[in-house]
């Protein structure tokens, strides 16, 4: 559940909704893309082709139906590994996110450390991608974020925060 929460909330404009009874949902622009039901199953709103790939890769997964239409996939949360969960949550988000946000996140997947704005190379590729996915491409934008906000981004760890804070101090920008 912690992995799902961290991954979902690392994507732009995601809102977490506590539904009670251990249920939680994640939305982008009021569209639910991932949620956990009271039985511990994660539901992902995936396009049909991606749902087929998911079902082929996860033997305990199933395609629940909502009336006569497909509602994506569901699988016991304990049956899906962390990296796989990251991938599929991102795919579900990409399927429902506004085109501008989806393009921003897709572009972030190809960036390299030291090649985005004035972000230092020393933060590494995962942190660079996480920041770029969130629309943060300059130290001035980093300065407006707290350490907790930075650490909440999937891919930004304590070392990256230290490097960013040092770079801010060296550039005389307000931390």
Question: So where are the chain's domains?
Answer: 2-104, 109-170
Q: What is the pLDDT of residue 173?
A: 60
The average pLDDT across 83-108 equals 87
* Confidence category of residue 70, pLDDT binned at 50, 70, 90: low
H or E element, residue 150 = helix 147-151
| 143 closest CA partner among 124, 126, 164, 117 | 164
Closest CA to 101 of 4, 3, 14: 14
Q: Which pLDDT value is given to residue 133?
A: 82
CATH code for the part of the protein at 109-170? 1.10.150
Place of tokens 């801010």: 168
- Rounded distance, CA 72 to CA 66, Å? 9
Judged against a pLDDT cut of 90, whether residue 153 lies above it is answered with no
* Fold for the domain defined by 2-104: 3.90.1150
Average pLDDT over residues 86-113: 85
Q: What is the pLDDT of residues 34-55, one digit of tens each?
A: 999 998 999 999 988 888 899 9
Q: Please tell me if the domain spanning 2-104 has the same topology as the one spanning 109-170.
A: no
Tokens standing for residue 30: 């009021």
pLDDT of residue 154: 79
Sheet-wide strand order for 41-44: 14-20, 23-28, 31-36, 41-44, 73-76
Query: In the prediction, which pLDDT does 142 show?
Result: 93
pLDDT of 141: 92
Instruction: Compute CA 25 distance to the chain's CA centroid, rounded to the nearest angstrom.
Output: 14
């Amino acid at each position: 559940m912690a992995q799902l929460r961290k991954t979902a909330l690392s994507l732009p404009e995601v809102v977490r909704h506590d539904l009670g009874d251990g249920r939680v949902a994640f939305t982008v622009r009021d569209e639910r893309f991932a949620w956990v039901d009271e039985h511990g199953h994660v539901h992902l709103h995936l396009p049909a082709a991606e749902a087929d790939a998911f079902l082929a890769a996860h033997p305990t997964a199933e395609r629940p139906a909502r009336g006569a239409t497909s509602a994506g996939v569901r699988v016991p949360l304990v049956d899906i590994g962390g990296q796989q969960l990251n991938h599929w949550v991102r795919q579900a988000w990409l399927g429902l996110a506004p085109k501008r946000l989806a393009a921003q996140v897709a572009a972030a997947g190809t960036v390299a450390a030291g090649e985005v704005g004035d972000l230092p190379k020393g933060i590494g590729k995962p942190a660079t991608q996480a920041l770029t996915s969130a629309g943060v491409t300059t130290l001035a934008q980093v300065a407006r974020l707290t350490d907790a906000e930075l650490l909440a981004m999937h891919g930004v760890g304590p070392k990256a925060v230290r490097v960013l804070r040092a770079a801010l101090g060296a550039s005389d920008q307000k931390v």
